[in-house]
Amino acid sequence: MVDIANSTSAVPPTDDERAGALERQVDETLEATSAAASVEVDALGRVLLGSWAEVRLASREAMEDPQFHRIDNLTKEDHRERTLVQLKALADSGRVHRAFPEEFGGLGDHGGSIVSFEELILGDPSMQIKSGVQWGLFGSAVLHLGTEHHHRTFLPGIISFEVPGIYAMTETGHGSDVDAVGTTATYDEQTEEFVVHTPFRGAWKDYLGNAAKHGIAAVVFAQLITKGVNHGVHAFYVPVRDENGEYLPGIGGEDDGFKGGLNGIDNGRLHFTNVRIPRTNLLNRYGDVAPDGTYTSPIDSPGRRFFTMLGTLVQGRVSLDGASTHGAAMGLAIAITYGNQRRQFAGGDGEEQVLLDYGRHQRRLIPRLATTYAQYFAHDELLQQFDAVFSGRGDTPEAREDLETLAAALKPLSTWHALDTLQEAREATGGAGFLAENRITGLRSDLDIYATFEGDNTVLLQLVAKRLLADYAKQFKGADAGKLAKYAVGQAADRVWHDTGLRRLAQTVRDFGSTARSVSELRDTEAQRELLTDRVESMVADVAQKLRPASKLPAAAAQALFNQHQNALIEAARAHAELLQWEAFTRGLEKIEDAGTRQVLSWLHDVFGLGLIEKHLAWYLMNGRLSPQRAQAVTAYIDRLVARLRPHAQDLVDAFGFKDVHLRARIASGAEQERQDEARNYYAGLRASGDAPVHEKDLRKKR
């Protein structure tokens, strides 16, 4: 062990000497635990399967059937027809009905329904999302927003897929801002009908799955108007096509055409010209209109009513969180398997090295593997919370609000991570990764839209941020002057402590005193928790203080103030979401019984936690939370951890449980290993025969 402070030299150690001492300390620390590190792949795989393991395995097994597999060279029209056939097969299997009531052939299993849906990505993402439109959006809207009449009337056809459906919420002019959609549904007391109308081009319903060709009915979100009063957005069941597939009177539309991905889905546009539907086609669980046009609702507040209606459909965000995590895992399984087999450039022994032996290759893939593990654990906790709410076991207004916030926090991170990971996996597999047969580019294209549908990621993080601000404000609701003054003094003292550099100075003295202290404190779970939590709390408090004047400003000035700090607000929400993932990974470690596996996952957990700190080092340095010495230790320790994890990388991706038939990537099927073995054997035989030509470089060395 090297202790720089006790050096007898009168000359201060150089930066290189300090770095070398730090690296040696890291190696000594890791060496003591490396011998016991191993991975029980099957046992770890069972943990990753989560709380609905058997349901997940059954759905995964179903995806081995070639009828559900994506075919890359289909035309848009052929891909759409193939996906339609796939959905009919899914409907016949019954595996997509789990969330529906038993009386309609379901199981009332909400968590299991999401799990079963997530596995469909192994077949074809177009099939997965089209099934999500049919049963997760269209069917769920009828189930959760409708009442007994709607369930009896509409659900049988939806569940059997006799009625392919459309979820008509988004408009050309309004996507995330659903409250401002332009389509109207005006009640006519004389005929007891609603008149659904699109008043201008921007109010066309757009980007709708099943709208271009297959859908024959839609749940349409429109402004409910009765007796001259707009009661806000409500959902209506509207037939759109006849038995021949032709638009019904007053309804028109367009095909969205070829897209950047998911071309097995017939996305399109719809518009309505004074289309009349029965009064009873209003999905009236949260708002109803009597025959005389009187409006009633069990929720008095229009705002709360609106968010309650949308909150019933949170399962889309929950399912995308899981599907995106699966997509990232698939990309890593392909890239790491290939990296363990593909050889490039001669090593010290004259043999070409496998790609994963290169430090940069490890740094590209293993930290992303750590994040994917964090997401698996976080997603399972999200699923449990979702199931508790929708099963009724834990359905309270507070629980629903927590669920919505958690889903809005995790979905952005997982969808962005999937896109980032698939792109890195593509680059890490070179030209082979660019071939469609190796799946990565197809997955990357299909998952691209995940970042903006079921809630634009940036908008979702803004919702999370507003919840954080609301929770922050609750701490001081009704507080007296003494409490507020005490808080202000504490904040001022903390700011002085950090901003003057006193904390940095003290930390630097300790760090220079012993490199061991830097490493050991970074390894400590509580130290990581403190650093990650402190960042979230500080960012939220800082933004909250800056936005405090908004309540006393005119609307335009308040909006300008909010806009000024919007980026900081969203970054605070992102930091909060990262902390949630880290906490879930920390709890997930407790489920690992095998000591060797727990050691490997502890390293992976540290790579994830310290990776978050490394990503935000500028904040930690500028705010005095880390000294420069300890900041160097973060990166040095991650580098060494990544190297220690390299021998276990294949086991860690094998634990995802994907078979060759799920990945369907030739470069991860063993074909690359066969090619490399053939080449090595050829050159070995040539050298043994004595017929190998002498290289010009070798001749020059002898001169």
Residues 180 and 247 in one domain: yes
Q: Which whole number is the average pLDDT over 583-593?
A: 96
Tens digit of pLDDT for each residue in 182-240?
999 999 999 999 999 999 999 999 999 999 999 999 999 999 999 999 999 999 999 99
Residues 172 and 185 in one domain: yes
546 and 569 in contact (C-beta within 8 Å)? no
- Confidence band (pLDDT; 50, 70, 90) for 13? low
Tens digit of pLDDT for each residue in 556-583?
998 899 899 999 999 999 999 999 999 9
How high does pLDDT run on average in the chain?
89
275 and 250 in contact (C-beta within 8 Å)? yes
CA dihedral 392, 394, 399, 400 (to 10 degrees): -10
Given a cut of 90, is residue 482 above it in pLDDT? no
Residue found by looking up tokens 């590190």 in the block: 37
- Residue with the bigger pLDDT between 27 and 157: it is 157
DSSP state of 632: H
In this predicted structure, what is the pLDDT of residue 351?
Answer: 77
**Structural domain of 240:** 168-300
Strand partners, 208: 268
Contacts of 684 (CB under 8 A, 6+ apart): none
CA distance 22 to 238: 68
Given a cut of 50, is residue 547 above it in pLDDT? yes
Smallest Cα–Cα separation from 69: which of 85, 93, 57, 47?
Answer: 85
CA distance 450 to 129: 10
Least confident residue range of 349-358, 402-411, 678-687: 349-358
**77 φ, ψ (degrees, to nearest 5):** -65, -45
305 lies in some domain: no
Q: Which whole number is the average pLDDT over 333-347?
A: 91
CATH number at residue 77: 1.10.540.10
Smallest Cα–Cα separation from 145: which of 25, 288, 259, 326?
Answer: 288
How many other β-carbons are positioned within 10 Å of the β-carbon of residue 127?
Answer: 27
CA distance 257 to 605: 44
Residues 196 and 142 in one domain: no
Given a cut of 50, is residue 484 above it in pLDDT? no
Residues 489 and 571 in one domain: yes
In this predicted structure, what is the pLDDT of residue 95?
Answer: 85
Residues 477 and 625 in one domain: yes
438 lies in some domain: yes
How many other β-carbons are positioned within 10 Å of the β-carbon of residue 9?
Answer: 8
CA distance 456 to 524: 36
Helix (H, G, I), strand (E, B) or coil at 433: helix
Question: What element of type H or E holds 266?
Answer: none
Residues 62 and 152 in one domain: yes
Given a cut of 60, is residue 435 above it in pLDDT? yes
In this predicted structure, what is the pLDDT of residue 356?
Answer: 95
Given a cut of 70, is residue 25 above it in pLDDT? no
Q: Tally DSSP H helices, then E strands, for the chain.
A: 28, 13
- Look at residues 107, 128, 160 and tell me which one is the last residue of a structural domain: 160
pLDDT-above-70 percentage for the chain: 88
676 lies in some domain: no
24 lies in some domain: yes
Quote the distance between the C-alpha of residue 497 and its chain's center: 37
Side chain identity at residue 599, one-letter code: Q
- Look at residues 277, 300, 323 and tell me which one is the last residue of a structural domain: 300
For every residue of 278-347, DSSP letters joined together read EGGGB--SS-EE-TT--EE-S---HHHHHHHHHHTTTHHHHHHHHHHHHHHHHHHHHHHHHHTT-EEEE-
Q: How many domains does the chain have?
A: 4
CA distance 298 to 434: 55
Smallest Cα–Cα separation from 297: which of 281, 279, 315, 284?
Answer: 284
In this predicted structure, what is the pLDDT of residue 70?
Answer: 96
408 lies in some domain: yes
What separation in angstroms does the CA of 161 have from each of 90, 235, 246, 587?
Answer: 9, 21, 18, 40
Given a cut of 80, is residue 21 above it in pLDDT? no
665 lies in some domain: no
Tens digit of pLDDT for each residue in 132-166?
999 999 999 999 999 999 999 999 999 999 999 99
Given a cut of 80, is residue 288 above it in pLDDT? yes
pLDDT-above-90 percentage for the chain: 71
Given a cut of 80, is residue 483 above it in pLDDT? no
Structure tokens at 76: 């848009």
CA distance 402 to 408: 10
Q: Which whole number is the average pLDDT over 21-36?
A: 65
Q: Which whole number is the average pLDDT over 458-483?
A: 80
100 lies in some domain: yes
In this predicted structure, what is the pLDDT of residue 76?
Answer: 97
Please tell me the total number of residues recorded for the chain in this structure: 703
- Confidence band (pLDDT; 50, 70, 90) for 44? very high
CA distance 196 to 239: 11
In this predicted structure, what is the pLDDT of residue 1?
Answer: 33
Residues 646 and 509 in one domain: yes
CA distance 51 to 366: 26
How many other β-carbons are positioned within 10 Å of the β-carbon of residue 679?
Answer: 12
Mark out the alpha helices in 94-240 (DSSP H runs): 110-118, 125-131, 139-145, 148-160
Q: Which whole number is the average pLDDT over 256-280?
A: 97
Helix (H, G, I), strand (E, B) or coil at 186: strand
- Confidence band (pLDDT; 50, 70, 90) for 691? confident
Residue 161 Rama label (left phi>0; alpha psi -120 to 50; beta): left
Helix (H, G, I), strand (E, B) or coil at 629: helix
- Look at residues 136, 160, 184 and tell me which one is the last residue of a structural domain: 160
Side chain identity at residue 508, one-letter code: T
CA distance 46 to 51: 10
Residues 79 and 226 in one domain: no
669 lies in some domain: no
Q: 3-class secondary structure for 541-597?
A: HHHHHHHHHHHHCCHHHHHHHHHHCHHHHHHHHHHHHHHHHHHHHHHHHCCCCCHHH
In this predicted structure, what is the pLDDT of residue 244?
Answer: 92
Residues 284 and 251 in one domain: yes
Integer-rounded Cα radius of gyration of the chain:
29
Structure tokens at 95: 């595996």
CA distance 469 to 453: 25
Contacts of 266 (CB under 8 A, 6+ apart): 80, 209, 210, 211, 212, 213, 214, 215, 255
Residues 619 and 552 in one domain: yes
Side chain identity at residue 284, one-letter code: N
Smallest Cα–Cα separation from 238: which of 338, 302, 135, 154?
Answer: 154
Residues 590 and 499 in one domain: yes
192 and 276 in contact (C-beta within 8 Å)? no
- Confidence band (pLDDT; 50, 70, 90) for 366? very high
CATH number at residue 437: 1.20.140.10
Q: Which whole number is the average pLDDT over 78-88?
A: 98
- Confidence band (pLDDT; 50, 70, 90) for 111? very high
In this predicted structure, what is the pLDDT of residue 473?
Answer: 83
Residues 151 and 4 in one domain: no
For every residue of 446-490, DSSP letters joined together read HHGGGGTTTS-HHHHHHHHHHHHHHHHHHTTTT--HHHHHHHHHH
Strand 217-226 versus strand 184-188 pairing type? parallel
Q: Which whole number is the average pLDDT over 454-481?
A: 83
In this predicted structure, what is the pLDDT of residue 504?
Answer: 42
Q: Whole-model pTM above 0.75?
A: yes
CA distance 352 to 448: 36
Smallest Cα–Cα separation from 640: which of 535, 515, 550, 538?
Answer: 515
In this predicted structure, what is the pLDDT of residue 450?
Answer: 96
